[in-house]
Amino acid sequence: MFGTKPEDRATPAGLNVEFAVNVLGHFYLTQLLLPTLISSAKSSSDGKVRVVNASSTAHMFSKTGKHGPIDYRTLEGLRIILIGNLLFSNGLARRYGDQGIISISLHPGVIQSSLFRDTPTTLRKAVYLIPWGRVGYPRKDHLDPEKENELWTWLEEKVKELA
């Protein structure tokens, strides 16, 4: 959903489509699945279930850690979405870890896809690779519980408005 065409950038509710799909949508789906996740954790052999959200090391290069009005067609817009997934994953782990939910975000690697099909070619040339299978550490400001709570509250409010 990164780099959508201009006519496809807003949801009917006026939200940016990339952020709505990639952050708000994941949040809402997870909220709907919470009862099942919690009961599945209780009945699993190790007492745990996992929720995995895709993020990326690209968040490390963000100029801001805030959600809200931003041009999501840009690389910085993608980074904000990745920060959103990181903060959401951390928030889920903090809020439901004691009920057996393990929540992580990961950098899935770089693969050939049509993700950047509608972005200018100049944005498609930069790639940052990290060794596979290694635990990475986000920027400290992207682990800020205050930012996490701010995003979580915003997501909850948006879900209430839209549901």
Q: Among 119, 37, 46, 35, which Cα is nearest to 78's? A: 119
The residue with tokens 């995003």 is 151
- Of the CA atoms within 13 Å of residue 49, those in its CB half-sphere come to 18
Is 96 considered catalytic here? no
Catalytic residue among 28, 72, 96, 128: 72
Among 76, 73, 67, 69, residue whose Cα is nearest residue 23: 67
Q: Where in 60-153 does DSSP place strands (E)?
A: 101-106
Given a contact cutoff of 8 angstroms between Cβ atoms, the answer to whether 70 and 44 are in contact is no
Active site residues: 72
